[in-house]
Amino acid sequence: MRQPFTYRDAVALLGGESPLVALLDKGSAAAMLGLSAIDLFDARAEAVRLGDGLVRGLRDRVKGLHRYDRTQRLAAAHAVIVLTAFFEVLGEAELLSELTREDLKSVGVPFEVRSLVDAPWPMPGPQRPYELVLDDLLRHYSLITGSVLRLVSGLAVWDELGETRQDRLARDLPARAVRRYEELFRRLAADFPEVACWASLAGGRATRDEVRTLARGLAGLRDRLSAISSGRSPSDRLRALVEANRAALGRPVVTSADVPGGMTIPSLDLGYVDPGFRVISPRAQVDPGSERRDDLDAFLAGHLTLPQATDAPLLVLGQPGAGKSVLTRVLAARLPEGEFLPLRVELRHVPADADVLAQIEHGIRDAL
């Protein structure tokens, strides 16, 4: 699976040139040559300015884009706010405000800070609670904070702080960076509803405490994805495929010739109850049986609007008769037109000796 966006990748995708990346690269080269490096004032100010500008203009950048391109840019914006949050609170720290430019130039920018532009940062996803992502960010911010404080520890202003204020700064700065990240993340989610889907999926705070109604037919998925539709019109062939998929919702949930008198079999739309499930990431060292979930519509909405949906397959496992095929029929019927290609490829209708790619291509040719 591909790593999350780095800051360098994100800036290149959203806006091209990055003076911050150039500054930090310059600092790395200067350090290697034994020259004076750039100072934290320059790096911090540039990070804040660039982050604010890129996120503020994001709506225009994603307007009218296909789902894939829109998803990539929103993930890139997330990488930007992660770094912006740290540099914003760093600039507000009492220590940095008391340092002179001469102090900062004498210590330069630590390697760990310069390497931030190339580090993959944690991001929310349906397979992990949002709170665990915040814990990961706290650990990352703590490492960078420790590196910065070690560099300034040799300056007179550091000694003047006293041990109590030194300890408080080391403890509070990472926590404040996490809180600032949460603020920036909420702003991003307010403008782009799919971003909110990333963080409201796997138990914990927000709206994830309890499923209060019996979810049917993945109706929640339809509502969530319709709210973030780009409004693009599908081609005639894609529209025909979508209509064929949606027609399945009106058919009986099971086909049986032996229906007792007075009994009516409900349609798939009304009779399909969203199943409970468990989820685990391929790299996770967690027992998948430890947590049962009932938010399938929320999970799918988050997964389908993240880059991970195209980076690796989502493998659905279950006993024979558990409803895996029915799930694909309902999912294909609920995906909004113009956003996805809801194509079901049934193995019994494709060459059995072909590889997976050939089978998918065969299914596309038959459907379109």
DSSP assigned state of 253 = S
Residue type, position 278, single letter: R
Is it the case that residue 268 has pLDDT exceeding 70?
yes
| Nearest-5° Cα angle at 334, 329 to 339 | 115
- Measured CA to CA, the distance from residue 93 to residue 172 in angstroms comes to 9
- Measured CA to CA, the distance from residue 170 to residue 54 in angstroms comes to 29
The mean pLDDT value of the chain amounts to 78
Distances (CA, A) of 296 to 161, 193, 208, 214: 52, 18, 12, 12
Distances (CA, A) of 167 to 161, 177, 254: 10, 16, 65
- Give the number of other CB atoms < 10 A from CB of residue 350: 18
- What mean pLDDT is predicted for residues 346-364? 86
The predicted structure's pLDDT at residue 135 = 95
- Give the DSSP letter string of 243-310: HHHHHGGGSBSS--S---TT--PPBHHHHPBPPPB----TT--S-GGG--B--HHHHHHHHHTSTHHH
Instruction: Show the tokens assigned to 256.
Output: 């049986």
Q: What confidence tens digit (pLDDT) does each residue in 8-25 have?
A: 788 778 875 555 555 555
- Measured CA to CA, the distance from residue 34 to residue 30 in angstroms comes to 6
Domain boundaries, the chain: 7-199, 219-367
DSSP element (H, E) containing 90: helix 67-92
The predicted structure's pLDDT at residue 99 = 66
Q: What confidence tens digit (pLDDT) does each residue in 290-309 have?
A: 688 888 988 999 999 999 99
DSSP element (H, E) containing 118: none
What backbone torsions phi and psi does residue 293 show, to the nearest 5 degrees?
-120, 155
The predicted structure's pLDDT at residue 303 = 93
- Measured CA to CA, the distance from residue 85 to residue 1 in angstroms comes to 27
* Alpha-helical segments (H) within 34-66: 40-56, 58-62
Instruction: Show the tokens assigned to 133.
Output: 């992502």
Q: Are 232 and 64 in contact (CB under 8 A)?
A: yes
- Measured CA to CA, the distance from residue 34 to residue 222 in angstroms comes to 59
Residue type, position 126, single letter: P
Instruction: Show the tokens assigned to 322.
Output: 């558990």
- Measured CA to CA, the distance from residue 106 to residue 37 in angstroms comes to 8
Q: What confidence tens digit (pLDDT) does each residue in 99-125 have?
A: 666 666 655 555 555 566 777 888 898
Residues written for the chain: 368
The predicted structure's pLDDT at residue 9 = 81
What backbone torsions phi and psi does residue 125 show, to the nearest 5 degrees?
-165, 160
- What mean pLDDT is predicted for residues 151-163? 74
| Across 117-121, 344-348, 360-364, least confident range | 117-121
Q: pLDDT-based confidence at 178, cuts 50/70/90?
A: very high
DSSP bridge pairs for 125:
128
Task: Tally DSSP H helices, then E strands, for the chain.
Answer: 18, 0
Is it the case that residue 180 has pLDDT exceeding 90?
yes
- Measured CA to CA, the distance from residue 4 to residue 7 in angstroms comes to 10
